[in-house]
Amino acid sequence: MLVIDKDCYGTIAVAWLICLALMFIDLYFVKYKAVSFPIAAFLLVFMFFVMWFHRLPEREKVGTDTIVTAVADGEIVIVDKTYEPEFLKKECIQVSIYMDFFDVHANYWPLDGEVKYYKYHDGRYLMAFYPKSSELNEHSSLAVGNEHGDVFFKQIAGTFARRIVTHANVGEQCKDRYVPAS
């Protein structure tokens, strides 16, 4: 069964209404069926892609209070030592995951623990693969920790996925749930 992120119902509804209006215009005004049917088919496929893009598949829990897991689907593009100045204020290992159109755009808690830090940063919508996009684009910063240590991560908007929705409150326990990044 396809489960959709509840924060995305409005986005899906707007996309579907626009596509339905375009399909009506296409099928009503374009007299050549060889032209209008492929356009309508493309719009129908796009409607279902928008819904599929905002899905929340069931995940097998991997992270625990001592095992850190990836916060997102996608391709690991950077693994490097870096200095993190916002929360940890020390050298750490940076793991950057790039999510394309076909990846689930929901982030998951990397380990069980407590939300120790949350901050929203307004910004631009540069292409996600640009090196400066992690600093200049809209993003939220989160830190989750327990007695074994802290994990700091960012959710970064891009050109296509242009908004960050985060349900995290400092002091809240995080376990067995996702952090929406839609």
**pLDDT above 70 for 179:** no
**Is the C-alpha dihedral spanning 33, 38, 44, 47 positive or negative?**
negative
In tens, the pLDDT along 48-107 reads 999 998 888 877 766 667 888 888 888 998 899 999 999 999 999 999 888 888 888 888
Number of domains in the chain: 2
Asked, for residue 61, whether it belongs to a domain, the answer is: no
pLDDT band at 181 (very low <50, low <70, confident <90, very high): very low
Same domain, 93 and 171: yes
Same domain, 84 and 13: no
Asked, for residue 168, whether it belongs to a domain, the answer is: yes
Query: Judging by DSSP bridges, how do beta strands 113-121 and 75-84 pair with one another?
Result: unpaired
Task: Note whether 71 and 105 are within 8 A (CB).
Answer: no
pLDDT cut 70: percent of the chain above it: 94
In tens, the pLDDT along 93-114 reads 999 888 888 888 888 888 888 9
Same domain, 90 and 14: no
How far apart are alpha carbons 94 and 129 in whole angstroms?
A: 15
How far apart are alpha carbons 36 and 31 in whole angstroms?
A: 7
Asked, for residue 69, whether it belongs to a domain, the answer is: no
How far apart are alpha carbons 105 and 122 in whole angstroms?
A: 19
Which residues constitute the domain of residue 128? 75-180
In tens, the pLDDT along 138-177 reads 999 999 999 999 999 998 888 877 888 888 899 999 876 6
Asked, for residue 31, whether it belongs to a domain, the answer is: yes
Q: What angle do CA 86, 153, 126 make, to 5 degrees?
A: 85
Same domain, 132 and 175: yes
Asked, for residue 1, whether it belongs to a domain, the answer is: no
Stated pTM of the model: 0.80
How far apart are alpha carbons 37 and 56 in whole angstroms?
A: 31
Asked, for residue 62, whether it belongs to a domain, the answer is: no
